[in-house]
Each structure stands twice: as structure tokens, then as C-alpha cells.
Amino acid sequence: MAMRTRGERPGPVVIVARVLAVIGVVLVGGVLAAPIVLLMVGAAMRGGLHLDYLLPGELVAIVAVGGVALVVAAYLARRSRLAITVSAVLAGVMFAVVTWVATATGLGDGDRSATGWRLTLVVTAYAGYVAAVAALFAFGIGLARAAFRRAGEATWAPSRG
């Protein structure tokens, strides 16, 4: 696709990529923001601070939908394909690792107490999952910003080759 000049309307591929990029950023970012928003709502209603730090793990389906939207947008736009794909796949793999480690160590079904090296292993895997989701969000913001740049600025239109 050739570069657009000022005043031209974007083609359907560009429009779909923009819409998917925005949807993906909103979904993935919403999962990251949910614990903070609920912390503030809970503090206003109950007067105490209660942070549900496991909420991004509970909303993994929303992350998956947002991740797919970002990956498709990246491939349509031919921008940030590797970064977004790797972070989306890594988020999925790390979530699976959290589930597997919790089950393998006995923490997932409550056979063992949540202490010591077992807990450290599960928490480390969960931190990796959240970090991958945060990376997906950051790369998605970059993709969405590039999608809405003006024609006079750095061009977003998909490149040839």
C-alpha cells in the first residue's frame, strides 16, 4: 500500500487495523487497570484498601481477546509484529506456566500450604504473566499511536515488502 497524502481517506485495511488496535489496547489496558479502579471504588465505599492483585489472572480471557486483536492489527498494519506477537504468546505461555506450577506443587488444589519455595515459584510465574500483559499493552499503545499519526508525520500506512 502506498503512503497516503494529506486529505486522502484511509483504506479499509487501515481502518480495520485502527479499530482492532484500539479495541486491543482498551481490553488489555482495562485488565491492568481493573485492580486499581476496584481498589479506589472499594476504598470509597468501605473505607479500606483491598487490592485484588490476582484480577489480571482471573481476566485472562479478556487479555486473550485483546491480544488477538492487537496481533491481527499489527499484521494488518505491518508494524510491531514481532514485539506484539511475542508478548501475546508469552502472556499465554506464562499463564499456562502459572497453572501448571500451581498444580505440580500442590498449591492449585490446596494439598500444600502456600509458603516457601512453592509459593515463590508460583508468584514468580504470575509476575511473568503480568509483565507480559504489561508489555503487550505498551506495544499496543505504540501501535495505536502510529495508526493515528497524521499524513505529514511519520507514515503509518503498511509498507511494501
pLDDT score for 29: 97
Of the two residues 107 and 96, the one the predictor is more confident about is 96
Of the two residues 81 and 116, the one the predictor is more confident about is 81
CA distances from 11 to 8, 16, 18, 134 (A): 9, 9, 11, 30
- The answer to whether residues 15 and 9 touch, using CB atoms and an 8 Å cutoff, is no
Max avg pLDDT among 3-7, 52-56, 111-115, 121-125: 121-125
**pLDDT tens-digit profile of 6-50?**
556 778 888 999 999 999 999 999 999 999 998 888 888 887 788
